[in-house]
Structure 1
Amino acid sequence: MALLKERLKTGERLFGPFVNLCHPAVLEIAGNAGFDFAIIDTEHGEISSDRAVDMVRAAKLAGVSPVIRVYGNQPELIAKALDIGAEGVQVPQVSTKAEAMAAVRAAKFAPEGARGCNRYVRAARYSAADKFSYFTNANQETAVIIQVEGKEGIANLPDILTVPGIDVLFIGPYDLSASLGIPGQVDHPQLVAEMQKNMELARQAGVAIGFFVDDVASAVKWKNWGVQYISFAADVGLLYEVFREKVMAFKNG
């Protein structure tokens, strides 16, 4: 299976859920269902790094690209996510060019960044990877996804997109709606127009665009408009919806 970053570079439109439940089986199910990637959410989920590594293993075995959303723009968190083998790291709360530079610096080995060099980690196959090529290959293959949030981040997008090494610019629709003065109105024509403007900025910078949706119709719409990294709901919400649907069908039957 091609790596997430490779697929983004070829222009594929990819679809994947957030995963909050702390169990490798969820990643296996996601892969068997045909999702392209899954975001292991250590920011809002209940997942620690010692459990995330088994979730990464399960994802790779099931053919779904593992991305880890860290809980802060901190070098040690970013390095840990990549050391355990995530194909991409998603960094939240990026609002300025300096913060974007810090995220890239933490995710890349020298000379592109300052990630600590250690090949006795899972990502380097516990030192089985060639020591002369591992660090270069990791820089080339790892996807850096920055999550721009809040009014400040939206306002600073043109500057943020000048930072080399960003693979995906992820914009939350609710943050974008708030920045436009239409909080929660994620289908508002003003939001759609602003998002399409941001998509063009990202295209000019050679950066893929990411967007969150919570229904399939919206996912298809944004896919057709050019969004490549489509984050879809979360495992807990999807499980609840199916459970609730079955319960109500039983009670009303």
Structure 2
Amino acid sequence: MNSSKCLAKWEAGQPVLGITLHLTDPSVFELTSLMGMDVIWVDMEHHSHSIETVNGLMRAARVGSSDLMIRPGNGEYNQMARLMEAGANGIMYPRCHTVKEAKLAVKSIKFPPMGERGLDAAGPDAHYGLTPLSEYLVTSNKGTFLVIQIEDQEGLAAAQDIAEVEGVDLLFFGPGDFSLQGGFAGKFNDSRYWDAVEKVADSAKSAGKLWGTPAFSSEHAKKLLDMGAMLITYSSDLSLFRKRLTEIKDEFKHLGINFS
């Protein structure tokens, strides 16, 4: 597999910026990666992409320098191992509530002695068998990362214990589900949002791990970076496409061109 840009920047004490790509045209992944985005977040929790489709998208992204971080559904441990074999640099595990879940995630994507991942060594992550086995086993464990999402009060309460699990690299606060379950859906100026962000940040720092969360603007991102965030994700292809189409409609209204 390609060496991880995220791990290299984190090792140097630098934050990384990612974007979510939902569209399944490989050209979108090629362009984004060629433009040098740190990490592309692919969401298989809320979208109907098959592993075969995501495999092709990751292959397209490898022409550039972006890392691939894939989010499967909660409890999809077998799928996580397949995604690693397809060449993912990292896994984002969603809706984590307990230390037990975090340990199962580690076991699924790391080879012994750290985990219990089964051996194939014939996929893209092993350069189809061209990488010597001894090298492959080491780079697969040390050269990939695991992000654990904290998205509800139960996970928040266990955040430090989760962060302390060996093999967990970063805690990632999910504000959407947290605000939904907390009764303030989408209201990210609510004090409960900032209290939760601070709790995740403190938990990660206390465990000697990294943390991150989505940002909704560069000003918002600056606040998060000032708090020590090391993984910021911003927007998505669908959001950017929708925003630009809306701007185009508004730009042409004064010419008498209207849209239904």
Q: Same fold (TM over 0.5)?
A: yes
Shift of 1:215: 2.9
Partner of 2:125: 123
**Are 1:210 and 2:212 matched, yes or no?**
yes
Q: Which one of the candidate residues 231, 239, 242 is aligned to 1:240?
A: 242
C-alpha separation in 2, matches of 1:3 and 1:33: 14
Aligned to 1:99: 101
What is the Cα deviation at residue 182 of structure 1?
Answer: 4.3
Offset at residue 252 of structure 1 (A): 3.2
Letter in 2 for 1:12: Q
TM-score by length of 2: 0.89
Deviation at 1:247, TM superposition (A): 1.5
Q: Given the alignment, which residue of 23, 26, 29 partners 2:25?
A: 23
Partner of 1:39: 41
Task: Tell me how far apart the structure 1 counterparts of residues 139 and 22 of structure 2 sit (CA, whole Å).
Answer: 29
Contact 1:16 1:231 in 2 (8 A): yes
Matched, 1:144 2:170: no
The answer (yes or no) to whether the contact 1:177–1:185 under 8 Å persists in 2 is yes
Question: How big is each residue's C-alpha offset from its partner over 1:53-75, in whole Å with a ceiling of 9 and x where there is no partner?
Answer: 22112222121111111123322
SS at 1:99 equivalent: helix
Counterparts of 1:92 and 1:133, CA distance in 2: 30
- From 74, 78, 81, give the equivalent of 1:79: 81
Give the C-alpha shift of residue 162 in structure 1: 2.0
Pairing 1:230–2:240 present: no
Q: What is aligned with 2:258?
A: none
Deviations 1:29-67 (A, max 9, x none): 222444211111112223211111221122221211111
CA positional deviation for 1:222: 1.5
Note the residue ranges of structure 2 that are not aligned, 5 or more in a row.
Answer: 256-260
Partner of 1:114: 116
> CA–CA distance in 1 between the matches of 2:153 and 2:199?
16
- Would you say the 8 A contact 1:106–1:113 is kept in 2? yes
Contact conserved, 2:4 with 2:143, CA < 8 A, in 1? no
Structure 1 vs Structure 2 CA RMSD: 1.9
Asked if the contact 1:36–1:64 (Cα under 8 Å) also holds between the matched residues in 2, the reply is yes
Mapped to 2, the partners of 1:161 and 1:49 lie a distance apart of 28
What is residue 51 of structure 2 aligned with on the other side? 49
Taking every aligned residue pair, what percent have the same amino acid on both sides? 28
C-alpha deviation, 1:2, in angstroms: 5.0
The structure whose Rg is larger is: 2
1:123 deviation in Å? 0.3
For the 8 Å contact 1:93–1:149, the answer to whether it is kept is yes
User: Which amino acid is the alignment partner of residue 97 of structure 1?
Assistant: V
Q: Does 1:192 align with 2:194?
A: yes
Partners in 1 of 2:198 and 2:151 — Cα distance? Answer: 17
The residue matched to 2:160 in structure 1 has which SS?
A: helix
Report the secondary structure of 2:95's partner residue: strand
Note the residue ranges of structure 1 that are not aligned, 5 or more in a row: none
Give the AA of the match of 1:165: G
